[in-house]
Structures are given as structure tokens and as C-alpha cells.
Amino acid sequence: MTDEDVRAKRVYEPAAPDDGYRVLIDHIWPRGVSREHAKLDERARQLAPSDELREWFNHIPKRFPEFRKRYRAELKSQSKELDALRARARKGRVTIVYAARDQEHNNAVVVAEALRDG
């Protein structure tokens, strides 16, 4: 068990006080969402999957296990950024905000797992 308080939430859902620190991890700004509505504390584009990986995955659920594996490999090069978010999550909740429709098969799920796994 870890002490990191991390969760994922769609950017289209209203921000809530219990979201804590809200960070968007997407290369592309979510369609139809204003900055005011997003209520982000940070936008960490550098933690988003590469364009090549994102395009390969194409939100096809059966590709998610391989996407997770490849994305976790990409995230290894961003250890400083992940460590900073992990440290923040030890002090209070961090909500990884994402735009994807699929709530189970997306990059935010993988980032949240990576933060919890240490």
C-alpha cells in the first residue's frame, strides 16, 4: 500500500474541491473546454504519451495492455516530473485530468498507476 492519493477524472466533469491538485496530461487541449471550466493547477504535456503511441493506441480497448506497457516505458524518461507529482500526492490528493471518453482505457489511468506504484 502506498501513501499517494491519486485519481483520474474527465475534464468534462465539474471540478470539485476534493479534487485537490488538478493536472492535465494531454498533448492536445480538450475540445470545447475553457481554461476556466478546466480549473487546472498544471498542464504536464511532457507526461503525455508520444504522438506515435497515442495514434497507434487510437483508444482501442484491446490494445490497452500493450499501450500501458509502452507508455510506462516512455514515462521512465520523465522520472523527475513523476517524482514531483508523487511528492505532491503524498501531501494531498492529485487528480489526473483527461479528455478521453473511455474512463478505463486512457493515459490518465496509466499515469495514476505509475504514481501509485512509485
Report the alpha-carbon distance of residue 26 to residue 118 in Å, rounded: 21
Radius of gyration of the chain (CA): 13
103 in any annotated domain: yes
The Cβ-side half-sphere exposure at 48, using a 13 Å CA radius, reads 21
pLDDT of amino acid 117: 87
pLDDT of amino acid 1: 37
Q: Which of 100, 103, 93, 99 is nearest to 115 (CA)?
A: 93
pLDDT of amino acid 3: 62
16 in any annotated domain: yes
Q: How far is CA 9 from CA 21, 66, 77, 79, 103, in A?
A: 12, 22, 24, 22, 8
40 in any annotated domain: yes
Q: What is the pLDDT along the chain (118 residues), one digit of tens a residue?
A: 356 799 999 999 999 999 999 999 998 899 999 999 999 999 999 999 999 999 999 999 999 999 999 999 999 999 999 999 999 999 999 999 999 999 999 999 999 999 998 7
**Treating both helix axes as pointing N-terminal to C-terminal, what angle do 79-91 and 107-117 enclose, rounded to 10 degrees?**
70
| Domain around 74 | 6-117
The Cβ-side half-sphere exposure at 24, using a 13 Å CA radius, reads 22
Q: How many domains is the chain built from?
A: 1
pLDDT of amino acid 48: 95
Question: Residue 62's CB: how many other CB atoms inside 10 A?
Answer: 8
Phi and psi at residue 69, to the nearest 5°: -60, -50
1 in any annotated domain: no
